[in-house]
Structure 1
Amino acid sequence: MSQHPDIDTQAPLTNFSQCHAGIVRHLDSFDELPALLVPAQRARKIAADFLGFFREAAFDHHQDEERELFPAVLRSSEPGPERAHVQQMVDALTHEHREIEALWNRLAPQLKRLAHGQPADVDGAACSLLVQRYRTHARVEEQEFLPLAERILQRDGNHMAALGLSLHMRHQAPPLAHV
């Protein structure tokens, strides 16, 4: 099927004018393309950078907290109301870790496609929710849990030192085997 309208044989010059108008309309749209490429390239870069960062950084951070920090604070807390409060906070923070990780696992395939320049329907609401949930989670840890953990662990300097050593060992490369 032709892209050309029917030719008016009575006014042939009008046909040229209409053709120009159609070409100019398409050129106007095409002229927007360079400006749209910058945000598209930025979107791909953000997706690629975040893919390379978030899973490793956030998931490893969650493991450090759940395997090292939370147990250390629970062990060092006083039995009774203090330990119950710490346990409640640990349970809530751990639950938030799983929610954040589930959101990430839902978004990661979309972000991978976007990062590779493939068509991707990235769930904007899920992106915003991940950002909001993590900011809230980090704020609770920074303002509530970590100050409480510091008070509890500083009661006995050995407890703080043990946590530091445990984290250090966890992040060291395994020793090479002798051949």
Structure 2
Amino acid sequence: MNAHSVPPADGQLDTPLDGFSRCHLGILSQLTATAELPQLLAAAERARHIAADTVELFDSSVPRHHADEENDLFPAVQRSAALGAECAQVAEMIRRLTAEHRAIEALWALVRPALKMAAHGAPAELDEEALERLGRTYLAHAREEEQHFLPLAQRILGRDSRHLAALGIALHMRHVPQPLGYI
């Protein structure tokens, strides 16, 4: 019997022609599974692209975003806040948001190796719980900034248009390619 042959169910002995029929069944079964390949390959390619885009986002855009906030936005708001309760509120929000940045970066470090492998099409075991926590943590962080900190920053910096202009220039200068000097 060959590898694709199955013993007859009725207990009768195999004839050479029965072996051919069972072999055809094995071939047809494999071809049925093979018909799923275009759909599976498309899903695998999409997974590879999502992983690569996520690696690119968290390796370059997210660190730049955090740096913009921590080096330019947060200090500008802190400097412009009114002394007393507003200044204390801003300081506490900045402390919390900065701690959230570090937590997000730590979660990213946990999932990055597997996503990097998946981005290259290699088999990868994703820590689903850590990946879900990263998404949940970042969503909560973004909501906090959007609903509380950015409106407060707008109010504080908006009191003096020069403060908003200075922030705009600082952010612009951070992202302008620096000219190469003469050697």
Q: Could you say which TM-score interval applies, normalised by the shorter chain?
A: 0.7 to 0.9
CA distance in 2, matches of 1:172, 1:36: 43
Matches within 5 A, 1:28-67: 28-67=32-71
| Residue 97 (1) aligns with residue 110 (2) | no
The equivalent of 2:181 in structure 1 is 177
| Worse overlay, 56-65 or 23-32 | 23-32
The equivalent of 2:160 in structure 1 is 156
Residue 82 of structure 1 is aligned with which of 72, 80, 86?
86
Cα deviation digits, residues 126-159 of structure 1 (max 9, x gap) = 2232222222211211111011011111222222
C-alpha deviation, 1:26, in angstroms: 2.7
| Worse overlay, 24-33 or 159-168 | 24-33
CA distance in 2, matches of 1:137, 1:77: 22
The equivalent of 2:3 in structure 1 is 3
Q: In structure 2, do the counterparts of structure 1 residues 90 and 11 end up closer, same or farther at CA, with 3 Å as the change threshold?
A: same
Which residue identity does 1:19 align to in structure 2?
C
C-alpha deviation, 1:54, in angstroms: 2.8
| Worse overlay, 9-18 or 43-52 | 9-18
CA distance in 1, matches of 2:115, 2:4: 41
Tell me the SS of whatever aligns to 2:28. helix
Q: In structure 2, do the counterparts of structure 1 residues 153 and 7 end up closer, same or farther at CA, with 3 Å as the change threshold?
A: closer
C-alpha deviation, 1:5, in angstroms: 4.8
CA distance in 2, matches of 1:132, 1:11: 60
TM-score (norm 1): 0.87
The equivalent of 1:137 in structure 2 is 141
TM-score (norm 2): 0.86
Equivalent residues of 1:100, 1:134 under 8 A apart: yes
CA distance in 2, matches of 1:10, 1:162: 90
Gaps of 5+ in 2: none
Equivalent residues of 1:100, 1:130 under 8 A apart: yes
Q: Percent identity?
A: 51
C-alpha deviation, 1:7, in angstroms: 7.5
| Worse overlay, 148-157 or 47-56 | 47-56
| Worse overlay, 68-77 or 13-22 | 13-22
Cα deviation digits, residues 33-81 of structure 1 (max 9, x gap) = 2221110011011111222233211110000100111111111112221
| Residue 119 (1) aligns with residue 123 (2) | yes
Which residue identity does 1:31 align to in structure 2?
A
Gaps of 5+ in 1: none
Which residue identity does 1:178 align to in structure 2?
Y
Tell me the matched-pair count.
179
C-alpha deviation, 1:163, in angstroms: 1.5
Cα deviation digits, residues 3-56 of structure 1 (max 9, x gap) = 255878944033333333333333332222222111001101111122223321
Equivalent residues of 1:7, 1:15 under 8 A apart: no
Which residue identity does 1:3 align to in structure 2?
A
